Homo-oligomer: A and B are copies of this chain.
Amino acid sequence: MSIELVQRLFHELEQLPLIDPHTHINPHSAASENLADIMGYHYYTELAHSAGLPQIAIEAEGISPKEKVEALVPKLEVLENTAQYQWLLEICKEFFDFQEDRITVDNWEKLYDTAGAKMAADDWEKQVLTQSKLDQVYLTNDFDDPLTGFDTSFYVPCLRTDDLVFHLTKPEVRERLCKATNRELGTVEDLQAAITDLFTHFTANQARACAISLPPDFSPAQVSANSVTSIWSRLNSGKSLPADDDVTLSQFVFWELAQNCAQFKLPFDLMIGVNRKVYEAGVFQGQDLYDKRTSLIQYKELFNSFPSVTFPISVLTHTSNQELASYAWIFPNVVANGHWWYSNTPAYIEHDCRSRLTAIPQSKYVGYYSDMYKLEFALPKFRMYRRILAKVLAEEFVIGCRWSEQRALELGKRILRGNVEEIFGT
């Protein structure tokens, strides 16, 4: 395979302005303010902790941003081999004039200061967006987010629903729902109305998706309002629920969300496969893992029941990728979405991308989203993906099918951007 060919395709893909269809950006503080905002990303804190750095060294009460970076830097040496480290290095080179090959105890402080000076610019957010060629950034919003004070046509709201489905048994979550919808939640009908209120509020504010992450053992099922009546009363009278009732309530709320997605014509992003708090003593956001014994067959009833709802699906594990490709190949309403978290490293992306691109309609694969918390990460993460996409396009299409480079690029652009527009709307 010609390295030059891949380079050419990569370079062309790099020119394409992007829409990032899933992030955790806070639109009120989208860009970083100091290097700790970047190196404090859980990918670095958890890897450094996994490599032996005590949690307290990075999460102690009152630790300053600079102290946090200082604590992390010595551990970077053992992370230099990781894709995650490449993102960091690329950020430093692209945005902070860093010209060395490694971030070390000797050079980090200068880097910290340079970065700080750059980020202090009034238009830093704008600079990052321009340099990263970002046309639009999708958010992950709590259900009670007022969605005010930012440009929702650029920072596109998405209704995140984990709390509603999995934590509604907590009084504080029900309290938040009361407040957000200005409703008493005495009956199941109140609950249904409150959920619909959220969809009204979100779609009135340009929301383009409902989203949720799901544990590996969750199986959506239709549950009648009647069958949760007594569960809801029990909760409202302050009693705890037996485990099965917990699941029934989750299924009920989930199904309500799907019905609202149908009614409000919103795609329903499913991120399937994560177990929360597996490593209880881990750092912030570095505690979640999974059980690979899960299957999309668990979603059979859902996919059949909501033919009008598009389900962009992310799977946490490479071993679920073939199921995702097969279900997207058969179900019109299933779309393969990005490369998520533990599957977001090159060895998995390449195989998953290749197997999707050679088996499912090109209109049904949203190539990538950054999942970022700070804007600076879009550039290196998408670059990693574009590099892999260029390789797959070269091998499978330019060489394998004798397509012109132009034709391969058209496919690449559809995967990178066109499908985002088509599936989530603009």
Q: How far is the CB of A213 from the nearest CB of chain B, in Å? A: 15
Residues A177-210 near B (CB distance < 8 A): none
Which residue on B lies nearest to A346, using beta carbons? Answer: B358
Known: A50-B332, A347-B351. A290 touches B279 (CB 8 A): no
Residues on the B chain within 8 Å of A279, using CB: 300, 303-304, 330-331
- Among the 9-residue stretches A224-232, A235-243, A253-261, A280-288, the one with 4 or more Cβ atoms under 8 Å from chain B is A280-288
Residue contact A347 to B342, C-beta cutoff 8 Å? no
Kindly list chain B residues whose C-beta atoms are within 8 Å of the C-beta of A292. 295, 319-320, 322-323
A187 to chain B, nearest CB (A): 34
Most B C-beta atoms less than 10 A away, residue of A280, A297, A397 = A297
Binary CB contact string for chain A from 286 to 317 against chain B (1 if under 8 A, 0 otherwise)? 11111111111100100110010000000001
A284 to nearest B CB, angstroms?
Answer: 13
**Residue A361 CB within 8 A of the other chain:** yes
User: A185 → chain B, closest Cβ, in Å?
Assistant: 34
- Complex: how many Å from CA A323 to CA B293? 11
**Neighbour of A82 across the interface among B291, B342, B361, CB < 8 A:** B361
Check if A317 sits within 8 Å of B322, measured CB to CB.
Answer: yes
| A322-349 CB contacts (< 8 Å) to partner B | 322-323, 325-332, 342-343, 345-348
Q: Which residues of B contact A307 (CB under 8 A)?
A: 281
Q: Which residues of B contact A278 (CB under 8 A)?
A: 297, 300, 330
| Interface presence of A51 (CB below 8 A) | yes
Is A86 close to B, CB under 8 A? yes
Q: Which of A79, A307, A360 has the most CB of B within 10 A?
A: A360
Q: How far is the CA of A319 from the CA of B326 in the complex (A)?
A: 13
Distance (whole angstroms) from the CB of A425 to the closest CB of chain B? 16
Residues of B contacting A331 in the complex (Cβ-Cβ under 8 angstroms): 50, 279, 282
Interface string of A356-373 (1 = CB under 8 A from B): 011111111000000000
A interface list, Cβ under 8 A from B:
46-47, 49-52, 78-84, 86, 101, 275, 278-282, 286-297, 300, 303-304, 307, 317-320, 322-323, 325-332, 342-343, 345-348, 351, 354-355, 357-364, 396-397, 400-401, 403, 411
A-B contact pairs, 8 of them (CB 8 A): A51-B363, A78-B361, A81-B358, A81-B411, A289-B330, A290-B297, A292-B295, A345-B358
